[in-house]
Copies of this chain bind each other. A is one copy, B any other.
Amino acid sequence: MRLSKTITTITGGGSDGWDLFIKARKMIAQGHDITELTIGEHDIKTDTRIIEAMHAAALGGATGYAMVPGIDTLRETVAKRLATRTGVPTTTDNVLITAGGQAALFAAFRACLDAGDIALYITPYYATYPGTIRSVGGIPKSVTAEADNGFLPTFEALDAAAAESGAKALLINSPNNPTGAVYGRDTLEAIAAVAKKHDLIVISDEVYDTQVWEGEHISIRSLEGMEERTFVVGSMSKSHAMTGSRVGWLVGPDSAMPHVLNLLTNTNYGVAGFTQQAALFALGLGESFEEEIAAPFQRRRLLAQKALAGQNAIRLSPPSGAMYLMLDIRATGLSGDDFADKLLMARGIAVMPGESFGPAAAGHVRIAMTIPDAPFEAAIKEIAAFTASLT
């Protein structure tokens, strides 16, 4: 079959970064006792009240085609949420409901890029970013956020990359997966300055916006002159432990959204009405519910800080947000890949090699804080002891 170049080059060749994860899963299938700290998914399930709301909606008739832009009540609620939390006036005309944050990200890149156009993204990066750019025929170019700068991108690096590449768009993600960095106002101002200087559209993935442990979440869309050049990607997945429901949204200038709607008609023809009703109910549970969902990660972050106090083998930049820890294990002289493999084989603990998220995270491993407190704390202590044994 004579497939398109676009689809056959989506991964960009090479490993997709999931080798260790797959190895661990195979070991589990073979009966090995493995502690998995790999996946960005809560150790709790979706709240039963949300599931019951979904069921009531389905029984009530929300099983036919839903309006492709999303149901009005959910669009309104998302609009109000963004207006309240970011201070940017936002209406239903700015909001389209998508089949999860990933679908919003895909739509945003399609909105910005024609085939052959370049988009910048920041490394370390979430696994799907370069592939999503390639999926619309775009060319991804990475900009390094240095470990020794707290994984924050700089004006100089972004400006140089934009000038050299002629990029059309720049993807940012704060709070950040995998690093836990939360971009402060200075960093966001620098990004905004680059965007204006080079006429870039900024795609801002803010799916971890309810998981901030230090500082505050600032949406780049709220910075002066940015509303007209920003798409914001949001999702119910991380904030409401609804990863599997695939409900998210794209927010952008009202002039752009009718075009994005045309795309959504042709990609998914809308999102199930009953899952949209579930999302609407979940948002109605308010901020206290979102804090409850986020609390375990904040708690485990402190457990890890305590467990790693007084040792020198691992350097932990305490994450400012999101559900991950980045451990700097460069003192061992090992790559993240080698370290993760040795840790898995010697101690039965699976972590993600930093290299899975790009060269900027080399010599690091990512820990997902997604297992209960006691085994989590034990695993961190085990990792510390293992690392010390290597140095």
Give the distance in Å from the alpha carbon of A199 to the alpha carbon of B135 in the complex.
24
Knowing A6-B114, A41-B64, say if A244 contacts B273 (CB, 8 Å): yes
Interchain CB contact under 8 A, B135 and A137: no
B contact residues around A128 at 8 Å (CB): 265-266, 269
Q: Which chain B residue has the least Cβ–Cβ distance from A62?
A: B244
Pick from B2, B7, B63: contact of A242, CB below 8 A.
Answer: B63
B contact residues around A4 at 8 Å (CB): 110-114, 117, 168
Interchain CB contact under 8 A, B1 and A201: yes
Minimal beta-carbon separation of A248 from chain B (angstroms)? 10
A379 sits at the interface (CB 8 A) = no
Interchain CB contact under 8 A, A41 and B65: yes
Interface residues of A (CB under 8 A from B): 1-8, 10-11, 39, 41, 45-46, 48, 51, 54-55, 58-59, 61-66, 99-100, 102-103, 106, 110-117, 128, 131-132, 134-137, 168, 199, 201, 228-229, 241-246, 252-253, 255-256, 259-260, 262-263, 265-275
Interchain CB contact under 8 A, B41 and A58: no
Interchain CB contact under 8 A, B115 and A115: yes
Interchain CB contact under 8 A, B228 and A1: yes
Interchain CB contact under 8 A, A266 and B135: yes
Give the distance in Å from the alpha carbon of A113 to the alpha carbon of B269 in the complex.
21
Minimal beta-carbon separation of A277 from chain B (angstroms)? 11
Give the distance in Å from the alpha carbon of A63 to the alpha carbon of B80 in the complex.
26
Give the distance in Å from the alpha carbon of A365 to the alpha carbon of B65 in the complex.
23
Q: Which chain B residue has the least Cβ–Cβ distance from A231?
A: B1
Interchain CB contact under 8 A, A267 and B6: no
Interchain CB contact under 8 A, B272 and A244: yes
B contact residues around A61 at 8 Å (CB): 45
Minimal beta-carbon separation of A220 from chain B (angstroms)? 14
Q: Which chain B residue has the least Cβ–Cβ distance from A135?
A: B266
Interchain CB contact under 8 A, B64 and A243: yes
Knowing A112-B4, A245-B272, A268-B100, say if A55 contacts B64 (CB, 8 Å): no
Give the distance in Å from the alpha carbon of A201 to the alpha carbon of B245 in the complex.
33
Interchain CB contact under 8 A, B63 and A45: yes
Interchain CB contact under 8 A, A131 and B266: yes
Knowing A7-B260, A58-B55, A228-B1, say if A246 contacts B272 (CB, 8 Å): yes
Best-surrounded residue of A66, A103, A116, A244 (most CB of chain B within 10 A): A244
B contact residues around A8 at 8 Å (CB): 259
25 contacts between A and B (CB under 8 A): A1-B252, A3-B111, A5-B114, A6-B110, A6-B114, A7-B262, A10-B262, A10-B263, A10-B266, A46-B63, A62-B244, A63-B244, A63-B245, A64-B244, A99-B268, A102-B268, A103-B267, A115-B115, A135-B262, A135-B263, A136-B137, A244-B270, A244-B274, A246-B269, A272-B275
Interchain CB contact under 8 A, B269 and A272: no
B contact residues around A241 at 8 Å (CB): 63
Give the distance in Å from the alpha carbon of A5 to the alpha carbon of B270 in the complex.
23
B contact residues around A263 at 8 Å (CB): 7, 10, 135
Minimal beta-carbon separation of A203 from chain B (angstroms)? 12
B contact residues around A59 at 8 Å (CB): 48, 51
Interchain CB contact under 8 A, A256 and B137: no
17 other A-B residue contacts (CB within 8 Å) besides A2-B168, A45-B64, A246-B268: A1-B201, A1-B228, A1-B252, A1-B255, A45-B61, A45-B63, A51-B55, A51-B58, A54-B55, A64-B244, A66-B244, A99-B99, A106-B266, A114-B137, A128-B266, A136-B137, A246-B271
